[in-house]
Structure 1
């Protein structure tokens, strides 16, 4: 809702008021001319209908220009207001001195009310509340209504003045502009009345159909309250459903969009992996179902009010025709119930988001009225002292400072701190300085921004997901990108059309909000990394338990049994005992090798002894006779985190194994470079890797090791060989995916040491056989 639309709506509303007020102001003069009963018999109804439908319709169009319901209400109100004004003008002309075009004004006023009168019962119920028909099967009813309106309008436009003068308003002998025309075909007149009556009855029946459909949907879409409501972020006013935009020209009857839980209320799955994501998808689906159920319930309540208004209108109309006293007053009030029901749907059930518009309009009009009253009092007081002209000038000079301050206050009431972005910045800065979790911080900042700018909806979107929301979205939304450190981290959605100046102010506020979004992303990444680290640790524990329990445990138990047997044979059969001890020595050495293999899998000893460059050189020597390995590494390789060294070693070992076993390569080149990232390339001259479907666990393991450290893994293969390319960031400024977003521990964790140097402290390990 922009200032231009508010001004347009205010101007249109004042125009309607002027038309009706001008027509009613002519009533005393018409009574002096002998024209009585105009207001009581006819123009009172038209004046009430013009204001009752016109003012709400204008404000609906100001908020939603494509609204068919708003367009119909505004058209009905305008036709009735213009008709009553033309009637007063024409009657003054033909009964007094004569006015330009009074005959044509009188002719227009005689039939202009008819389409507005019939559109209310025949068309309005068909398209309420979303601006569309209930279904395609109702198109013939709409066509019947349009035909009935057209025929009845033509009938009244065709009638001569002597027939139309039901209240005796014209002077004797007045014939009007269409005297002498043949009578309107009676059969066509009857057909028009029948079409309008049938269409009106069916239109009211369409409301009942909508009501029944909404009631059934609200009952059948049952969602468990705990699943549907848990994590749902309540909108302003306490409702969890948010209105969704309908089709072209449609108005949202109620909620329809999904309800997103704020990030602060989401709980990660303790097992890590995709279970948390599946749970989030499940919660979102349940939330959408709950939102749809609430939407149907809201639409049902809206229709209840309109159905009740239709019943009250029928009762008023019937009573006005029957009661001998007060009948004209009751007929004049018949246009009121339906707009009142629409107003209740607006305020109580969030139809069209007009409560915000009405509050803005009332605030602006109230401050303007106070300014006008102050100016009038000042002119009157000063005019009695210094004269009218000088008093007006002095009043303008005296009231102008008050006007400027009051106008600024009015703008603040209506538009918040849009003209003072510094105030909003201070409030957002205070939020950032607070010790709140990032998810809750985003929710608070969205609410603060909405209150400061006086908009009905603010949302923050990150990677296509709403992570914070305040208020209920409407059909219009402005998207402001949020950038941090040269990267778009999210999008700020504001549920209102904004002026270029407002967009510029939001662009000033966006960097501060982007900091909070970036913090939220880091917090979420840290949570994911923590979950996956816990899962990886548990997986490693399970593997070690399997190795020790199912592998090493039975071997040691068997050794213990053989030792007991050898102890018993020492005295009775020394030769057999000696043979058994030799077998035990061989088995013990094999067990030591098994333990060493387990320790080697945890932390390869060459890395501790030789550093990454030396360990890779030794690794290449193990393939001698099968594969020639060339190592290209700088002698001054910088300090590397232990986790990065281990990942590079394991990836190289797997790549060399694949080249020797599967690709039948004869030459393999390993290149190492380290700046902001560790660049590892392993190229071979083999036959290449097979199709993706045939690639095994080794490639998956290499990719996982790189991604655990926020790195990238690329495999280029073909007939000329295979190239494995790995990039692992060494600092937050590296070109990798960024710290905190990967599933594993941070590459900066653990001790650093030069890649080619020995550690200062040797790890405890089992002795080698040759050191016994």
Structure 2
């Protein structure tokens, strides 16, 4: 494919997604569908980054994967809104498309991006087996869902039967096909994560920074995913409001990280925009994440403790909340400084050692009078902190 054809195709797919994203809210307003279905526009990151990568690097599979996933997401959401009014013409076939498009836009980036990122090539030929494993997972889920007999698992005014459902022994075997697809998808997902870890360990220089951006967002997305699993196990049959609120926050955090954070990281990595800022981003994430947990736990603990101690005197006047707020506000700066020191010492040892070297040099500088000794100390400090290939020091003569 020539560069001109690739650019035309990439931006045509982007235009198709934009058209679907614009038509979906209109259909929601006209047909009084669910307003949340109009959130297809949040997938604009996948489409835009995919179009930029595919048009500039046509041989890189990452851009095309993002574009296909974005278009499938747009079609799925549009069909879902369309079929919400089952009386519309062709609603049955729209529901049929919507029932299996989920596996296309969700599984494509999840199963294959970790295998080919960032250059669009596999780590080695041996990983072709994992690619075919992922293809088999997508195919099994699509076939098992698209041709399953009975009522389609979609929201509509009235139940819609699958127009292409297969009856008989074949139809009864299709749920097993879908189950096998889920097992294959889980295996491919685990192997894809292993491939990403191996690529991160083997890469150097610019490629390492690219993989770090991608791995950073993937690790962040694991946090709300684990929270959702933990809430589902803990909740069981009980209906606790705080568990529902926690699950809602975790779900939308996961959606934002996947549909916004992931394409943003891919765009930064492949288009190399602020590529080497990843160390600062990770540092700030660790510091402010730990700081938020520390201050939140301190606030809740102090509120509960002060309410128990002051309740006989204040009788629920809110004094405990006010005192806890002031205490947490005063704790912010020292806690942040302490957490920053721990993070630098544990995860960014080079930065921590460089800061200590500069501090020690500053202490010697106040007492050092010998110019030659000071010059030697300065060269040692520069070599230890900046690690240049060569260090030279020119001093101005006193008679000039």
TM-score, normalised with respect to structure 1: 0.31
* CA-CA distance at 1:115 after TM superposition: 2.1
1:603-637 deviations in Å (ceiling 9; x for gaps):
xxxxxxxxxxxxxxxxxxxxxxxxxxxxxxxxxxx
Offset of 1:337 from its aligned partner?
Answer: 2.1
Question: Could you say if the C-alpha distance between residues 6 and 116 of structure 1 is closer, same or farther in structure 2, counting changes exceeding 3 Å?
Answer: closer
- 1:313, CA displacement in angstroms? 2.0
Counterparts of 1:473-484 in structure 2 under 5 Å?
Answer: none
Output the CA distance in 1 between the equivalents of 2:5 and 2:164.
Answer: 43
Q: Distance in 2 between matches of 1:194 and 1:143?
A: 14
1:332 matched to which residue of 2? 255
Contact 2:96 2:152 in 1 (8 A): no
Q: Which residue of 2 aligns with 1:164?
A: 153
The correspondence for 1:131, drawn from 120, 124, 134, is: 120
Shift of 1:320: 5.3
Deviation at 1:140, TM superposition (A): 1.4
Contact 1:48 1:332 in 2 (8 A): no
Could you tell me whether the CA contact under 8 Å between 1:118 and 1:149 is conserved in 2?
yes
Matched, 1:88 2:81: yes
Q: Equivalent residue for 2:163?
A: 177
Inter-partner Cα distance in structure 2 for 1:5 and 1:61: 7
> Relative to structure 1, is the Cα distance of residues 324 and 306 closer, same or farther in structure 2, using a 3 angstrom cutoff?
same
Check if 1:302 corresponds to 2:210.
Answer: yes
Question: What displacement does 1:202 show?
Answer: 0.7
Could you say if the C-alpha distance between residues 304 and 122 of structure 1 is closer, same or farther in structure 2, counting changes exceeding 3 Å? same
Residue from 93, 97, 109 that aligns with 2:98: 109
Q: Partner of 2:259: helix, strand, or coil?
A: coil
1:227-283 CA distances to partner (integer Å, 9 max, x unpaired)?
xxxxxxxxxxxxxxxxxxxxxxxxxxxxxxxxxxxxxxxxxxxxxxxxxxxxxxxxx
Structure 1 residues 400-549: aligned runs within 5 Å: none
Q: For the Cα contact (< 8 Å) 1:115–1:150, is it kept in 2?
A: no
SS state of the match for residue 183, structure 1? helix
Alpha-carbon shift at residue 332 of structure 1 (Å): 3.2
Closer/same/farther in 2, CA of residues 47 and 184 from structure 1, 3 Å limit: farther
Tell whether 2:30 aligns with 1:54: no
**What is the rounded CA distance, in whole Å, between the counterparts of 2:205 and 2:59 in structure 1?**
25
Change (3 A) 1:103 1:62: same
The 8 Å contact of residues 47 and 80 in structure 1, kept in 2 or not, is answered as no
Show the counterpart of 1:211.
200
Given that 2:140 and 2:181 are in contact with CA atoms closer than 8 Å, whether structure 1 keeps it comes out as yes
Query: Which residue in 1 is equivalent to 2:29?
Result: 28
Q: Tell me the SS of whatever aligns to 1:336.
A: helix
The correspondence of residues 186-201 of structure 1 with structure 2, limited to 5 A, is 186-201=175-190
Q: CA deviation at 1:199?
A: 0.6
1:349 corresponds to: 275
Q: Distance in 2 between the 1:299 and 1:203 partners?
A: 18
Q: Deviations over 1:26-73 (max 9, x none)?
A: 223343xxx54752xxx64x5534x22222112222122222111111
Change (3 A) 1:212 1:161: same
Change (3 A) 1:198 1:136: same
Larger Rg: 1
Query: For residues 103 and 187 of structure 1, what CA distance do their matches in structure 2 show?
Result: 24
Query: Which of structures 1 and 2 has the larger relative contact order (alpha carbons within 8 angstroms, sep 6+)?
Result: 2
What secondary structure, in the 3-state scheme, does the structure 1 residue paired with 2:244 have?
A: coil
More strand by share: 1
Give 5+ residue unaligned stretches, structure 1. 215-295, 351-772
Partner of residue 60, structure 2:
67
Pairwise mapping of residues 509-658 of structure 1 onto structure 2 (< 5 A)?
A: none
* Contact 1:313/1:335, CA 8 A, preserved across alignment: no
Q: 1:170, CA displacement in angstroms?
A: 1.5
Report deviation, 1:180: 6.4
State the Cα distance separating 1:149 from its structure 2 match: 1.3
CA drift at 1:161: 6.3
Using a 3 Å threshold, how does the CA distance of structure 1 residues 314 and 184 change in structure 2: closer, same or farther? farther
- Preserved contact between residue 14 and residue 51 of structure 2 (Cα < 8 Å): yes
Is contact 1:30-1:36 (8 Å) kept? no
Contact 1:47 1:84 in 2 (8 A): no
Q: Distance in 1 between matches of 2:165 and 2:123?
A: 44
Q: For residues 170 and 62 of structure 1, what CA distance do their matches in structure 2 show?
A: 39
Distance 2:52 2:138 in 1: 26
Aligned counterparts of 1:133 and 1:5: Cα–Cα separation in 2: 21
Over 3 Å counting, the alpha-carbon distance change for 1:54 and 1:320 in structure 2 is farther
Residues 163, 10 of structure 1: alpha-carbon distance in 2 compared, 3 angstrom cutoff: closer
Q: Is the Cα–Cα contact under 8 Å of residues 148 and 162 in structure 2 kept in the other structure?
A: no
Q: Deviations over 1:497-542 (max 9, x none)?
A: xxxxxxxxxxxxxxxxxxxxxxxxxxxxxxxxxxxxxxxxxxxxxx
Per the TM alignment, residue 107 of structure 1 is displaced from its structure 2 partner at its CA by 0.8
In 1, the alpha carbon distance for the partners of 2:197 and 2:159 equals 50
Tell me, in whole angstroms, the C-alpha distance in 2 between the residues paired with 1:311 and 1:74: 23
Corresponding residue number in structure 1 for 2:111: 122
TM-score relative to the length of structure 2: 0.57
Distance 1:300 1:2 in 2: 27
Contact 1:317 1:331 in 2 (8 A): yes
- Partners of 1:115 and 1:7 lie apart in 2 by 23
Contact 1:123–1:203 under 8 Å retained in 2: yes
